[in-house]
Structure 1
Amino acid sequence: MLFYRWIMGTWSGEPFGSDSASDWAYDLADASDWSVVRDALAPVIGQTDVDADDAVIAIAAAEVVAHGLDRPTQTDAYTESVGPFVQRAGRPDAALVALALDALAASSSPDSELTELWQDEDPDEWLSANEALKQALDAGLPGRD
């Protein structure tokens, strides 16, 4: 576990539990609409063999959507930039929520490189965090509250 987490700069299975995700959060500082989040989700949509870095960023972007729905799964120092972004961008629409769910599914699919890396470690924390995020997003879709 220590080897992977040290190499990848990962300290938890939460959406913003890595250097890559935290670095991506800086993109939110200057953003005023959801396009930065949509751009982070798009590369993994429809993919089965998802690159680990793309997956990490897509999962962080999905967490931002959950924050926009007032259903965050992670609220700590690593998500401080999310609140001000959501205030500027407003509530995400149903299409973006569905895109976040699709990106989360692709990023955590059995063929995803990130899934393989977590399987070599202790995947329970990561799987639990992804399931919580999926539930938060799913509850944000119309008719699923």
Structure 2
Amino acid sequence: MGAWDSGPFDNDSAADWCGDLDDAGPDERAGMVRQALLSAADSRDCLDASEGGEAMAAIAIVAAECCGGPPVTSVYAPDFLLEGGKIGLSDDLVPLALRALDRVLGEDSELWQLWEEADGGRSLLAEVEPLRAALGRGAAG
């Protein structure tokens, strides 16, 4: 997996997934977000970096749209979101996004292992902190 920064959209897997999300019809997008979260949250084996990267992008989108989290501003995010569009996600994705986030940051996650080797995970954790805070507020409300 090529990564150029630690943001949720800053790797090849996330950028490719966001391109697919952008190309999908509006009625398909919520399902794609849900599937990316489920793939990570329900993974029983070591979560590979590409699934983790896709999940991180989906987590950031849920945090922004459902919880007032950090806005989606990365040039690698789907264009329709950068133009102010919404997917129309349901709030039931918030607990799923939290589960997926826990899985991505778990010991049995290749994405976490790569960041842990690079800088002890500090860069990734700095990106995740505001997402987790927003999702936590969304889950409590």
TM over 0.5: yes
The residue matched to 2:135 in structure 1 has which SS? helix
Quote the Cα distance in structure 1 between the aligned partners of 2:80 and 2:116: 29
* Root mean square deviation of aligned Cα: 2.2
Question: Are 1:51 and 1:114, in contact at CA under 8 Å, matched by a contact in 2?
Answer: yes
Cα offset, 1:121, TM superposition: 0.4
Aligned counterpart in structure 2 of residue 31 of structure 1, from 19, 25, 31: 25
**1:140 matched residue in structure 2:** 138
Alignment of 1:17-96 (within 5 A): 17-29=10-22, 30-33=24-27, 34-47=30-43, 49-69=46-66, 70-72=68-70, 74-81=72-79, 83=81, 87-90=85-88, 92-96=89-93
Distance 1:24 1:60, change over 3 A: same
Deviation at 1:12, TM superposition (A): 1.0
Moved over 4 A (4+): none
Q: 1:11·1:17 contact (CA, 8 Å) conserved in 2?
A: yes
Residue 129 of structure 2 is aligned to residue 131 of structure 1: yes
- Number of residue pairs the alignment of both structures matches: 135
Change (3 A) 1:82 1:140: farther
Provide the secondary structure at the position in 2 that maps to 1:133.
helix
Higher mean alpha-carbon deviation, 73-82 vs 117-126, is at 73-82
Q: Give the TM-score normalised by structure 2.
A: 0.83
Given the superposition, is the C-alpha separation of residues 128 and 74 from structure 1 closer, same or farther in structure 2, using an over 3 Å criterion? farther
Give identity over the alignment, percent.
36
Give the CA deviation at 1:137.
1.5
* Equivalent-residue separation in structure 2 for 1:133 and 1:39 (angstroms): 19
| Unaligned 5+ runs, structure 2 | none
Q: Distance in 1 between matches of 2:99 and 2:126?
A: 17
- Give the partner amino acid of 1:41: L
TM-score, reference length from structure 1 = 0.81
Match of 1:99 among 89, 96, 100: 96
Instruction: Give yes or no for contact 2:63–2:70 (8 Å, CA) kept in 1.
Output: yes
